[in-house]
Amino acid sequence: MTTENYPVTDNQLMQEVRDGRVEKLAVLFERHHVRLYNFMLRLTGNASVSEDLVQEVFCRILKYRTTYKGTGTFPLWMFQIARNTHIDYLRKKKAELSLDEQWDEAASGELSPPERTERDLDIVLVQEALARLPLKKREVLVLSRFQNLKYREIAEILDCHIGTVKAHVHRAIKDLRKIYLDLSGEAAL
Amino acid sequence: MNCRNIKTMFPDYLIGDLSQQEKLLVQNHLADCTSCRSELESLSSVWTKLGVLPEEEPGERLRARFYSMLAAYKQGLEQERAARSWGHAFSLWLERWWPRRPVVQLGTALGLLAVGLAAGFWLRSAPNAAADMLPLRQEMQDMRATLAMSLLDNSSASERLRGVNLSVRMDQPDERLLDSLLQTLDSDPSSNVRLAVVDALYLFRDHAGMRRRLSESLSRQTNPLVQVALIDLIVNLRERQAADALKALIESDRLAPEVKLRAQQGLETLL
């Protein structure tokens, strides 16, 4: 989350974008698109969908740029938009596909070539277990484990109490363990 | 601490967000509680397990799409701007060029101030500009004098003091104002006001007749403080008539001894 090392902070850049120098968004893109991509990848388990969603996030940043207040940090604002983008994507998808089909797609992700190693298998299993977590729990887990955000920051993104975030993380890990064990059929975790 | 309280700290434990003290609390509890220990171990192993998911790089296509989207957006924005009125375009132009960094803003502000000062100095030094200003200055002086005189007539001592202070700020007090000040010196009920007038009149000492009138006023003063101040003033001015006034004062009865002493010292200085 630290931006001190940059000569121009995210916040300053986004304020410039807000005030009409939209070309500055390129710097923010270079700084954050990989992070956003991985956020989407952990939520959806699908690389091409994740790329589309990252693109959509930056479109929305431009669309809503004038609402940027610059009081909080830019990444938190960005993740709020990213989260809504993902939720909207799920809604749209739900209208098109049944739940079972969604799971099928997640399971047949890109890491399923015939000659996969044990580690690759593990990656698929963990990603699949994540995909089966209820959305709320998946979100808090992805934000805390992969985006290294503090619970306080996650609470701000999700607009809820910090205690709720912690409780969700706790439950999410327990549930994830159960799902993982079911999937792998082993009891070693 | 019971198991329930300890468990609420597990999420913080996982991301390493516990203070030294809290960590110690958890560790002490785990040493005695098998069920909590196994739960935390299981949570930690899942937490670690999630680490197998590598951070991945998106395809180059994403970047290309982003930049073309940005270029299209920018073009649309510029067309919209061009379509707007000139007035608006001008304010947008200002907005664009007005520096956002405080340091640059300060620099710009100081630069503009310097330009303003230079322009002001140049205008001031231009002779016909000064000539233009003359009637205006005269008008200001008159207004000030009128205000000062009306304040000197006020029933409140502090207002009269303000009037005295205002008179001091005049370069060329007119006759009417000086009369008012001398009148105040002779008859004001407040010794503070009279003392302030003594100080004020020192500034106008070179005005015609002023020294003589100050000496005359000495005989009309009764307050020792005002007497001493006035003695000091006229001695300081080396007014010839002051000697007579001092002599007259020394001879008068009802004079405080310290005032008499001061008058005698003053007389010696003058002679």
C-beta of residue B59 within 8 angstroms of C-beta of residue A26: no
Phi, psi of B58 (to 5 degrees): -70, 165
CA distance B210 to B199: 13
- Confirm whether B242 is domain-assigned: yes
CB atoms within 10 A of CB B135: 9
- Confirm whether B262 is domain-assigned: yes
**Closest residue of chain A to B81, computed from CA coordinates:** A20
- Interface contact flag, B17 A150, Cβ < 8 Å: yes
One domain for residues B264 and B148: yes
For residue A23, what pLDDT is reported? 93
Strands (E), A117-162: none
| Predicted complex ipTM | 0.82
- Confirm whether B84 is domain-assigned: no
Contacts of B54 in chain A (CB under 8 A): 123
For chain A, list the domains and their CATH numbers.
7-96 (1.10.1740.10), 110-189 (1.10.10.10)
- Confirm whether B93 is domain-assigned: no
Those residues of chain B that have pLDDT short of 50 are none
CA distances from residue B69 to A57, A112, B72, B103, B211 in whole angstroms, order as listed: 12, 32, 5, 34, 88
DSSP A187: -
- Interface contact flag, B58 A189, Cβ < 8 Å: no
DSSP string, B244-267: HHHHHHHHSSS--HHHHHHHHHHH
Identify which of B229, B263, B10 has the alpha carbon closest to the alpha carbon of residue A167: B10
Q: Which amino acid is at B235?
A: V
Helices (H) then strands (E): counts for chain B: 15, 0
For residue A98, what pLDDT is reported? 58
- Interface contact flag, A189 B52, Cβ < 8 Å: no
Phi, psi of B155 (to 5 degrees): -80, -20
Measure B113 CA to nearest chain A CA, in Å.
27
Contacts of B69 in chain A (CB under 8 A): 55, 58-59
For residue A39, what pLDDT is reported? 95
- Confirm whether B18 is domain-assigned: yes
Q: Which domain holds residue B167?
A: 137-270
Q: What angle do CA B233, B237, B238 make, to 5 degrees?
A: 120
pLDDT, one tens digit for every residue, chain A (189 residues):
554 555 789 999 999 999 989 999 999 999 999 999 999 999 999 999 999 999 999 999 999 999 998 888 899 999 999 999 999 999 988 877 655 555 544 444 454 555 567 778 888 889 989 999 999 999 999 999 999 899 999 999 999 999 999 999 999 999 999 999 988 875 444
Measure A51 CA to nearest chain B CA, in Å.
6
C-beta of residue B242 within 8 angstroms of C-beta of residue B235: yes
- Confirm whether B83 is domain-assigned: no
| Number of domains observed in the structure of chain B | 2
- Confirm whether B145 is domain-assigned: yes
**Closest residue of chain B to A179, computed from CA coordinates:** B46
One domain for residues B145 and B261: yes
Contacts of B7 in chain A (CB under 8 A): 170
Contacts of A130 in chain B (CB under 8 A): 50, 53
Q: Which of B12, B58, B74 sits opposite A33 (nearest CB)?
A: B58
**Closest residue of chain B to A176, computed from CA coordinates:** B46
